[in-house]
Amino acid sequence: MENQQSITVNQLSLLSVVIPARDEEACIESTVRHLHLELKLQGVPHEIVVVDDGSTDRTWAILSEMRQGLAELAPVQNQDRHGFGCAIQKGLEVMKGDAVVIMMADESDDCRDVVRYWTKLNEGYDCVFGSRFMRGGGVIDYPFVKYVFNRLANQFIRVLFAIKLNDTTNAFKAYRKEVIAGCKPLLSPHFNITVELPLKAMVRGYTWTTLPITWRNRRTGVAKLKIREMGSRYLFICLYIWLEKYFSRGDYKIKGKEFPQ
């Protein structure tokens, strides 16, 4: 699925992978090393920006040690307000790449899909959105309650915005750098940033496509998403962007895109 704008190919030079991390000492090293190995083997020029979001375990110590032998690793501490969205915004501020993939720290996302994102962005798309629930995608050991909440939330978003994307809430997505700039200001300090970025990108007229991706439940640590806390936050950001879509009269839409007649 994709929007129907014309595509202008503009080759990219550096991919930044932004990974928010809090108390991920059990998995952060393997996540970074597996990602780096895959990108290196596939010839993708990259940096890995891991944002330590106030960890109380050895996450930062592990990153500091790894940095000594891994030039592509660029760890940073979020010393301002903490939260998943705040950590991502910190990573977006310091990244050096002209494209970015946002990825989870717990190896739930497949690093091979990062390469596929990079390839698709280099075809000229502004954004690439992964879906675990389209043909070719899949989930492994997805908690039932989270699955139900996910499907209901995504169906609500599909109807509200009249879009075909069926996995908007998934954080694992890719953007060209200009999209990030065009979506500012970012308002979400928590997991609702996962819907703010793609919805703003679509509403503001950036080109996008979808790819099937796979997701595996974390094998270590504790999930940070708290469903009971996030419902109203997701609703707020969806309604905020819905108002922009239907009532801003295109004031925030990007200029210069060609649309088919």
Tell me the whole-structure pTM to 2 decimals. 0.90
Cα 68 versus chain centre, distance: 27
80 located within any domain: yes
For 90, list phi and psi in degrees, rounded to 5: -60, -45
Per-residue pLDDT tens over the stretch 88-124: 999 999 999 999 999 999 999 999 999 999 999 999 9
Interval 214-237 mean pLDDT: 75
252 located within any domain: no
147 located within any domain: yes
Give the Cα-Cα-Cα angle 18, 38, 44 (nearest 5 degrees): 70
Domain that includes residue 152, residue range: 15-247
> What confidence score (pLDDT) does residue 166 get?
96
> What confidence score (pLDDT) does residue 229 get?
59
Indicate if the pLDDT at residue 10 is higher than 80: no
8 located within any domain: no
Give the Cα-Cα-Cα angle 251, 253, 255 (nearest 5 degrees): 110
Residue 31's nearest CA partner among 137, 116, 104 is 104
CA distance 98 to 92: 11
5 located within any domain: no
Domain at 133, CATH number: 3.90.550.10
3 located within any domain: no
Per-residue pLDDT tens over the stretch 127-141: 999 999 999 999 999
CA distance 193 to 85: 5
214 located within any domain: yes
Question: Domain tally for the chain?
Answer: 1
10 located within any domain: no
